Structure 1
Amino acid sequence: MQSEIGLSTLGQLVDGHLENPWEILGSHPVQYRGKQATAVRSFLPQARAAWVIDQATGKRRPMRKLHPAGFFEAICEEAVDWKPSKREDGAGTSSKQYRIEMADKSGDTVEINEPYGTPSLLSDFDRYLFGEGKLYALHDFLGAQLRTVDGVSGVNFAVWAPNARIVQVVGDFNGWDGRAHVARLDMSVGVWELFIPQAKAGDKYKFRILDESGQWVDKTDPVGFAAELPPLTASVVTDLGQYQWTDSEWLQKRADSDPMRAPMNVYECHLGSWQKAPGGPHGWMNYRDLAHRLVDYCNRMNFTHVELMPVSEHPFTGSWGYQIVGYFAPTSRHGSPEDFMYFVDYLHRNQIGVIVDWVPAHFPKDQHGLRRFDGSALYEHADPRQGEHPDWGTMIFNFGRNEVRNFLIANALFWMEKYHIDGLRVDAVASMLYLDYSREDGQWVPNEYGGRENLEAIEFLREFNVAVHENHAGAITVAEESTAWPGVSRPVYDGGLGFTCKWNMGWMNDTLRYMHRDPIHRCHHQNDLTFSLIYAFTENFCLPLSHDEVVHGKGSLLSQMPGDLWQKFANLRLLYAYMWTHPGKKLLFMGGELAQWSEWNHDDGPDWLLLDFETHRGIQDLVADLNRVVIENPALHQLDFEGEGFEWVDNMNWQDSTLIYLRKGLEGTAPILVCCNFTPIVRKGYQVGVPEAGYWHEIFNSDSDRYGGSNVGNYPGLHTTGIEHHGRPDSLSVDLPPLGVTIFRLEKQ
């Protein structure tokens, strides 16, 4: 029994350096005047006076202030029915049997519950799973969990910081004085935990950590559900269980459908600059307003999905969201977590899928973030040859550590569980796969076999993909992977990485390089176009014209096109029509549909005023119609990933820079014929072989005057000539428009 407290222990408590406050705070059996009694002790730095209130009898006992910093004690001599239970360290707990009444220095009084008497949220099995890296419901245990214990409401704070000497919880509930709320370390898993009864939803907080080097640092909660508006950095206690979802029909439809055979026209969007809110902070529009505007726009433009550049909380707006600090918090720039839930819910109710960019490759060095979280290299590698990214000035996750993999995979599942996200596009996968990515000799550490492959990252990506696909039916994962790594979108059981699909960076680079050329020179570079079909079905490809193609001095897509003003627009129409008819799902970055003249700037966003001009409205109408054509014609989406869905008619006429090909769907669907002319020369009566006789309806012409073209074409369609050509039993005599694409569909007689 403890009757006295040493001055050294008391000094450590007052200074905030006591590693285990349970040993003196709370209720403890003591010897007092030769008899057994109970001591109740509290550290209340903000209190002028304090009393213990017996919950059973209502009796009020004054507490003595034993230290001017705010250490109070009451000795209960008479019998009390508190019967403190025992913790593993021998300290007693009895939070449900008494409360503390505190008078602050202004004279106001408030009743509080003792924080040092609540059992851990983590069970023994949870601890086991966490140690194994398999506690995928991590967000239900760590962070700030609203909790009621024995009828007392409060917040359970928990954070992984195994090498910290002390962890305090500081926030609105304690005047940001952490000495009153020192967390307890569970040494088996390295988690510090504390239940604070007076904390509530809306309170701002941080973890104040005395790291292994003896330095104090305030850290944002790695599992915090919300954060202050940048540049402020505190986490915010948040209840994620209040929003009433209305998208069950969408989720069921998603689970029952096959995304591989469905149309996927993706509109890549940066919410911070897509549209601005006059008078708002930095012009940031609320998630709810964005939802309504995006739905109206995407439905008009026939986009099936939006892909959001990262929405996780990030301190530097200029990073576009790719340098994340709050992995579990949607950025407060656009509102609350409930606002973002509404955003996703509203898009789903209007049949639009939501894909979010996810960044497990690296994180920034901001002091309040993950870097050296407890004073050690906790989330990152200690060796800079493994732990720092030479290009981006960021830290690289240590994928070999169970808890780090657990953190990231739990985060991925969190976005799908709590926010109903339909897919995650994983950024910078190539930087994860290769140990020597963007490094010179001597700047990287080989794997255990002496190779350059990051074996730990490979296993992490496989585990991530398996977890997503097993837990969320119909959800997709997309890899931005810029190398020829094999099997990125092949199943894990077949040796692949397990992604649903992969961005086709090779197609993008080859195609843009070809389109940059003056048409007179294109005949010498036909292979830039045809090469993609050699490997088109080795992966499940998405064709991206993303934000990366219109930043860092590259200029807009329109400005990259050669020729005079008419040819620039015609080339852009040609590029889009070729892309939309090529095998693979489609992605276009915002502003591309407006034919921007300037490259993207995250402060300004798309130049919507361009729509005052017919030429720019024509490009917008063209993109909307291409999206509609893909949706309405199964041959243009059902077999995007299968060789049976594509057939060359003529890819050898390099002299004329033409490409002719067929797209096909499942049995019974009408085939689609695509005729491309990459020169400004009109080719009248161009003979094109077709597989079946009949009437071929021209369903799209990029040279239509509706889009600003010269209206050379074959509307409403053509009958076959009865002449064999291109090794096929019949043919069409097609007028190929200049720098144009015509699309035909066989109409059965």
Structure 2
Amino acid sequence: MNNVISHSLFTDFDIDLFKAGKHYRLYEKLGAHLLEKDGVKGCYFAVWAPTAKSVSVIGDFNYWLEGDHPLQVRWDESGIWEGFIPGIEQGTKYKYKIHSHNQDIKTEKADPFAFFCEQPPQTASIVWEAKHDWKDNKWMAARKDTNALDKPFSVYEVHLGSWRRKIEESGRALNYVELANELVNYLKEMHFTHVEFMPIMEYPYDPSWGYQLTGYFAPTSRFGKPEDLMLLIERLHQEGIGVILDWVPSHFPDDAHGLGFFDGSHLYEHPDKRRGYHPDWKSLIFNYGRNEVRSFLISNAIFWLDKYHIDGLRVDAVASMLYLDYSRKDGEWEPNIYGGRENLEAISFLKEMNEAVYGNFEGIQTIAEESTSYPMVSKPVYLGGLGFGMKWMMGWMHDTLEYFKKESVHRRYHQNDITFSMTYAFTENFMLPLSHDEVVHGKQSLYGRMQGDEWQRFANLRLLYGYMFTHPGANLLFMGGEFGQSSEWNFQNSLDWHLLQYDGHKGVQNLVADLNKLYKKQPALHEKQFSAEGFQWINYGDSDNSVLSYIRKGHDAENDLIIVCNFTPVVRENYRIGVPRNGKLKQIFNSDFKKYHGSRVSNAKEVKIEAVPYNGREFSAAIILPPLAVTVFNIL
């Protein structure tokens, strides 16, 4: 019995674009779409399953029985099955029953283009057309300026399931609507410019933290409906806070209802296990050389920017995409056609994706999590780059945390570790990441890695953040780091907010809020954050005292800042530094202030600059260096 009416949303041009891998808005065609045909309301379904023998829509409306609502395969060899089912309404649960030519297998698959899904462990797709009257016009109109590379980027990375939980309600996570108040207010109080959500697309397994996606077009139902997420994003925009989504085009899980072996063939994943299976994550890798798969992924990137007003995508595990031998031994990978280790199809895909999103949306940014020395990741495609706006500075993160793990008495022998980042700081547009990956799996919290007694640990943590925010580049800090969470992050528990009753933790929180304000207020810290013109050493060679001093510059020399970092607990009186011109130094930030739980060693309000040559400059000033602290000066 066929209860499906022949109908199509596809034009011949759509099909040509899809086959060529150039259809970037497939979510408008594939999936489930509520509409009215000849006065009859219902739902149009379309799914790509080129090797299927038959495809039926099953759901609550037909008792999950195959055959009542079969879809028809298109005549144009696109592999798309489609049809209109009368009477289907918003909220209807459904799947596709796919009968494969391959070994006569029958599977039940969730819709790859579903806009909403059941809450795990349930796996059905839900017919849903989100309706939201956006009220963020002011943000969207100004985004090309506020989200530009010469503007502040201080990012708060958040795992929604564990940021804050309702203790009185069995410890449940806050939902999107509650976050639209509590998280937004907190970000505003802390003066972060952006929030980055760890993956919020639907995922089946909580311990994956969201990095194993099954519903690429569906915000996870754990925290509410799609409209609720739209409300959260709108509220963030109304408070001037940009939204970055963690996006995972590098791999996907092999769950039975997911994309793997979708129509009885290797449809989305590469058929060669050497390219289609990830040994680290036990997951499948997309076939980047298949046009329809490229359309799927690029459409997904565009979907979040289009329908959810997202301001940026942080692209996960780019290194694993770039190299065929990533995490593989000899014999477990096959060279490309030129005999090299680069994955040419993935590289081509990343370039096309970046061209597509930057070409379609004004003022957005893409950020690569990329840990190798692959060249020009954050350079435009037309110059031969991958086309990302920024790249995570993994080398800085590793070297800096290793340095801070060392007792201060030994740091004099490791001066090169803390200065090395400046030898390559401007080869890419770098974001400095202290991310979730650095506070799990036995690595300890950031506070836990710091050396010394309790006071020194807090001072070291404040010093780390002060150094980070005055180092060239954008900044990212994982939740909990901003108040010195003492235990490792646990995705099942709330952050340890009770720690804020203690002066040391409250002091770190005050410091991060003030660093964010400093970063936003001082042009020298962001206007040329990705340019060598924005940085100059005063003295990087004082290893005996473990002190660094440098200048940060913006467009106007009057806004230059002098930064001095003392990486030991020794107070240094009359420490002389060379300065670029005559006048006075005015201390505008000191991580040893009382409000930060510091020891209150400080410079006078103004320090006279003298005509005494030093550090290769005509002028110099003698200042006080607080212990384990960063001091920032203006030149008056």
User: How far apart are the structure 2 equivalents of 1:258 and 1:244?
Assistant: 23
8 Å Cα contact 1:288/1:342 also seen in 2:
yes
User: How far apart are the structure 2 equivalents of 1:415 and 1:356?
Assistant: 8
Give the corresponding residue for 2:223.
Answer: 334
Structure 2 stretches lacking a partner, 5+ long: none
User: How far apart are the structure 1 equivalents of 2:207 and 2:169?
Assistant: 18
Aligned residue type for 1:123: T
- Residue 514 of structure 1 deviates from its aligned partner by 0.8
Give the corresponding residue for 2:87.
Answer: 198
Residue 120 of structure 2: which of 230, 242, 250 is its match? 230
Please show how residues 182-193 of structure 1 align to structure 2 within 5 Å.
182-187=70-75, 188-193=77-82
**1:286 partnered with 2:286:** no
Write out per-residue CA displacement over residues 12-59 of structure 1, whole angstroms, 9 at most, x where no aligned residue: xxxxxxxxxxxxxxxxxxxxxxxxxxxxxx55xxxxxxxxxxxxxxxx
Give the corresponding residue for 1:155.
Answer: 43
Give the corresponding residue for 2:540.
Answer: 651
**1:181 partnered with 2:69:** yes
Please show how residues 104-253 of structure 1 align to structure 2 within 5 Å.
115-116=4-5, 118-187=6-75, 188-211=77-100, 212-240=102-130, 242-253=131-142
Aligned residue type for 2:449: Q
Please show how residues 564-575 of structure 1 align to structure 2 within 5 Å.
564-575=453-464
SS in 2 for 1:300: helix
User: How far apart are the structure 2 equivalents of 1:563 and 1:620?
Assistant: 20
Give the corresponding residue for 1:605.
Answer: 494
SS in 2 for 1:165: strand
- Residue 521 of structure 1 deviates from its aligned partner by 1.0
User: How far apart are the structure 2 equivalents of 1:363 and 1:717?
Assistant: 58
Please show how residues 49-448 of structure 1 align to structure 2 within 5 Å.
115-116=4-5, 118-187=6-75, 188-211=77-100, 212-240=102-130, 242-257=131-146, 259-278=148-167, 283-448=172-337
- Residue 153 of structure 1 deviates from its aligned partner by 1.2
- Residue 115 of structure 1 deviates from its aligned partner by 2.4
Give the corresponding residue for 1:498.
Answer: 387
Query: Larger RCO: Structure 1 or Structure 2 (Cα < 8 Å, ≥ 6 residues apart)?
Result: 2
Residue 563 of structure 1: which of 445, 449, 452 is its match? 452
Write out per-residue CA displacement over residues 367-409 of structure 1, whole angstroms, 9 at most, x where no aligned residue: 1000100111110012211111011100011100001111000
User: How far apart are the structure 1 equivalents of 2:524 and 2:112?
Assistant: 46
TM-aligned CA distance change 1:311 to 1:280, over 3 Å: farther
SS in 1 for 2:294: helix
**1:685 partnered with 2:574:** yes
Residue 701 of structure 1: which of 581, 590, 597 is its match? 590
Residue 634 of structure 1: which of 494, 516, 523 is its match? 523
Aligned residue type for 2:383: D
8 Å Cα contact 1:557/1:572 also seen in 2:
yes
8 Å Cα contact 2:368/2:392 also seen in 1:
yes
**1:721 partnered with 2:613:** no
8 Å Cα contact 2:312/2:365 also seen in 1:
yes
Give the corresponding residue for 1:582.
Answer: 471
User: How far apart are the structure 1 equivalents of 2:395 and 2:167?
Assistant: 40
User: How far apart are the structure 1 equivalents of 2:412 and 2:84?
Assistant: 71
SS in 2 for 1:274: coil
**1:481 partnered with 2:370:** yes
Normalising by the residue count of structure 1, what TM-score does the alignment of the two structures yield?
A: 0.84
User: How far apart are the structure 2 equivalents of 1:291 and 1:539?
Assistant: 34
User: How far apart are the structure 2 equivalents of 1:693 and 1:605?
Assistant: 51
User: How far apart are the structure 2 equivalents of 1:511 and 1:669?
Assistant: 30
* Larger mean Cα displacement after TM superposition, 653-662 or 187-196: 187-196
SS in 1 for 2:485: coil
- Residue 716 of structure 1 deviates from its aligned partner by 2.1
Give the corresponding residue for 1:470.
Answer: 359
User: How far apart are the structure 1 equivalents of 2:278 and 2:606?
Assistant: 56
- Residue 668 of structure 1 deviates from its aligned partner by 5.1
Q: CA RMSD in A?
A: 1.2
Please show how residues 18-57 of structure 1 align to structure 2 within 5 Å.
42-43=1-2
SS in 1 for 2:615: coil
| Count of residue pairs the alignment pairs up | 634
Give the corresponding residue for 1:673.
Answer: 562
Aligned residue type for 1:218: E
Write out per-residue CA displacement over residues 532-580 of structure 1, whole angstroms, 9 at most, x where no aligned residue: 1111111000000000000011000011011111111111111110000
- Residue 715 of structure 1 deviates from its aligned partner by 4.0
SS in 2 for 1:639: coil
Normalising by the residue count of structure 2, what TM-score does the alignment of the two structures yield?
A: 0.98
User: How far apart are the structure 1 equivalents of 2:99 and 2:505?
Assistant: 58
8 Å Cα contact 1:145/1:155 also seen in 2:
yes
**1:533 partnered with 2:429:** no
SS in 1 for 2:391: strand
8 Å Cα contact 1:143/1:223 also seen in 2:
yes
SS in 2 for 1:128: helix
8 Å Cα contact 1:634/1:669 also seen in 2:
no
Aligned residue type for 2:239: N
Write out per-residue CA displacement over residues 486-505 of structure 1, whole angstroms, 9 at most, x where no aligned residue: 00000000000000000000
User: How far apart are the structure 1 equivalents of 2:63 and 2:284?
Assistant: 33
* Larger mean Cα displacement after TM superposition, 168-177 or 588-597: 168-177
SS in 2 for 1:665: coil
Aligned residue type for 2:194: H
Write out per-residue CA displacement over residues 455-483 of structure 1, whole angstroms, 9 at most, x where no aligned residue: 00000000000001000100000000000
Write out per-residue CA displacement over residues 303-356 of structure 1, whole angstroms, 9 at most, x where no aligned residue: 000000000000001110000000000000000000001010110011100000
SS in 1 for 2:565: strand
User: How far apart are the structure 1 equivalents of 2:606 and 2:253?
Assistant: 57
User: How far apart are the structure 1 equivalents of 2:140 and 2:19?
Assistant: 32
User: How far apart are the structure 1 equivalents of 2:320 and 2:558?
Assistant: 41
- Residue 119 of structure 1 deviates from its aligned partner by 2.7
Aligned residue type for 1:622: L
- Residue 693 of structure 1 deviates from its aligned partner by 1.4
8 Å Cα contact 1:173/1:198 also seen in 2:
no
8 Å Cα contact 1:295/1:347 also seen in 2:
yes
* Larger mean Cα displacement after TM superposition, 210-219 or 188-197: 210-219
Structure 1 stretches lacking a partner, 5+ long: 1-41, 44-113
User: How far apart are the structure 1 equivalents of 2:635 and 2:135?
Assistant: 41
8 Å Cα contact 1:635/1:669 also seen in 2:
no
Aligned residue type for 1:127: I
Give the corresponding residue for 1:49.
Answer: none
User: How far apart are the structure 2 equivalents of 1:278 and 1:150?
Assistant: 52
- Residue 278 of structure 1 deviates from its aligned partner by 4.3
User: How far apart are the structure 2 equivalents of 1:281 and 1:394?
Assistant: 32
8 Å Cα contact 2:147/2:365 also seen in 1:
no
- Identical positions, percent: 55
8 Å Cα contact 2:7/2:82 also seen in 1:
no
- Residue 155 of structure 1 deviates from its aligned partner by 0.6
SS in 1 for 2:33: strand
- Residue 282 of structure 1 deviates from its aligned partner by 6.2
